[in-house]
Amino acid sequence: MSGLQPIPSLTITDGPVSAGVGVRQNLLDLDRDGLERFFVEVLGEQKFRAHQVMKWIHHRYVTDFDQMTDLGKVLRAKLHAHAQVVVPNVVFDKPSADGTHKWLLAMGEDGRNAIETVYIPDKGRGTLCVSSQVGCGLNCTFCSTATQGFNRNLTTAEIIGQVWVAARHLGNVPHQRRRLTNVVMMGMGEPLMNFDSVVRAMSVMRDDLGYGLANKRVTLSTAGLAPMIDRLGVESDVSLAVSLHAPFDELRSELMPINRKYPIAVLMDACVNYALRKKGDSVTFEYTLMKGVNDQPEHARGLVKLLREFDRRVQMKDAAKVNLIPFNPFPGTRFQRPEDAAIRTFQKLLNEAGMIAPVRRTRGDDIDAACGQLKGQVMDRTRRQAEFRRGLERAGGSTAEQVDGHAA
């Protein structure tokens, strides 16, 4: 795009509509309801003014109030005094040979934390993979993000700011020239551990004054926080994807420690309840295939049994869909991608049982942007990052550059 404005490089914390004395409200932190309240309660303006500003921000990517030409001088002065529009600072962006594009975005004033966002174009659609945390609060053994530990949740502004940065770069014009057609909350972090900020950001994604995406084109992916799946079904209306990765509790608990708290039966109950609330919508179950771990015929048969029971309880054919994801290696991992023949055999067993089970094509692996490879830059508050680095050093020869997700 030509004529783009400089991007401010600060992100403020999520907060109430009424900002404190001397604190300007970042308008990216607010959905339509919040923005309307801010204009009425703080600025003493009518709601339609909030709609005008929302379109300037999300449709035209304007962050300078003086360039919002249909606002009067008095309103612009009020906005300068009480508000700001601050988006994440782009540390770098990197294109892949296959059209995938990755951004490293600084989070916070000091820039010590950074997250990754990935755009994946494919056959008339463009999907943005969005992060919800700096690092991840969970510790799935096969995920690169988990090796980085955890620092904090992202604010609404930092989540929707990822969409803003990508849409601006792509020249996306909601309702006219749509380059961004889908958003998946599948980046760094567990979205349901940052519930309020994520739900507010997804509201902006689906709002006609925001990015105008249909409900079914915004997908939240969770490792399986069962109570929060129930809450999501009540408070939002988006597509649900569940990181399953094993059909048996013992194996899933080994791969995903969250399963010890919410075992498969509890997780499936929550998924059934979600599907029953969203009549006619399927739930997608993500299944990362790892060589010799969960890619054997007995695992396929166990998966068929589990998801057939899900369909029966929801009383809908194909209520469960499976995404098969060949494991994407990263430095220091003990897991491997299965051979192509093993992947095809696994898929065939599911297809023969009447299940929809496409194999997700690996995208962006040349820039470490494939599923499970996102790292960012995390000032870890846990011991996981240090322990992972020590393990690499003991294994011999892995350097800090290999661990660093944005090394040259």
Catalytic residue check, 136:
no
Helical spans, DSSP H, in 29-110: 32-37, 47-58, 73-82
Gap between the Cα atoms of 148 and 138, Å rounded = 11
Gap between the Cα atoms of 108 and 199, Å rounded = 21
Gap between the Cα atoms of 77 and 250, Å rounded = 61
Catalytic residue check, 371:
yes
Q: 256 exposed, middle or buried (CB, 10 Å; 0-12, 13-18, 19+)?
A: buried
Lookup: tokens for 134? 């700096």
| Cβ atoms of 23 and 3 closer than 8 Å | no
Gap between the Cα atoms of 373 and 365, Å rounded = 8
Gap between the Cα atoms of 325 and 335, Å rounded = 13
Gap between the Cα atoms of 305 and 57, Å rounded = 48
β-pair partners for 221: 241
Gap between the Cα atoms of 148 and 36, Å rounded = 38
Helical spans, DSSP H, in 219-336: 226-235, 249-255, 264-277, 297-314
Which residue among the candidates 136, 140, 271, 371 is catalytic per the annotation? 371
89-95 β-sheet, strand order: 89-95, 101-107, 113-122, 125-129, 182-185, 218-222, 239-243, 283-289, 320-326
Instruction: Show the CA angle centred on residue 220, arms to residues 376 and 335, nearest 5°.
Output: 55
* Residue 292, number of CB atoms within 10 A of its CB: 10
Which residue among the candidates 116, 158, 190, 286 is catalytic per the annotation? 116
Lookup: tokens for 55? 């379109």
Task: Output DSSP code: residue 138.
Answer: S
Gap between the Cα atoms of 223 and 52, Å rounded = 38
* Catalytic (active-site) positions: 116, 371
